[in-house]
Amino acid sequence: MTLTVYQYPKCGTCRNAIKWLDNKGIAYHAIHIVEEPPSKEELAKLVEKSGLPIKKFFNTSGMKYRELGLKEKLKDASEDQMLEWLSSDGMLIKRPIVTDGENVTVGFKEETFEQTWK
């Protein structure tokens, strides 16, 4: 099965994840997360399948996150509002997001990739 990788080419973490997949010979389809951000519906599915809290999907170190003051806003935001923000701008999304339709990883940790995508 081919993985889907939502990534940003200039992101070092994304490049490391792609390199890891390439080295393991794992097939994937890369999607530029800024040019084609996942829809609100897609994000809701990814969050659900990941088992992670939705806040883990935010790129908290990004300029856009800070510009919008999301650290404070997230405290009182509904899940629907958070999905709206995430789907509105790919730069707000922590990356890479890798999925096979059932499993989802967010970010790149070699141990997690080893366990999930071997």
Catalytic residues: 11
Residue 57 gets which letter from DSSP? G
Q: Is 89 exposed, middle or buried (0-12, 13-18, 19+ CB in 10 A)?
A: middle
Cis check for the bond before 96: say yes or no (omega within 30 of 0): yes
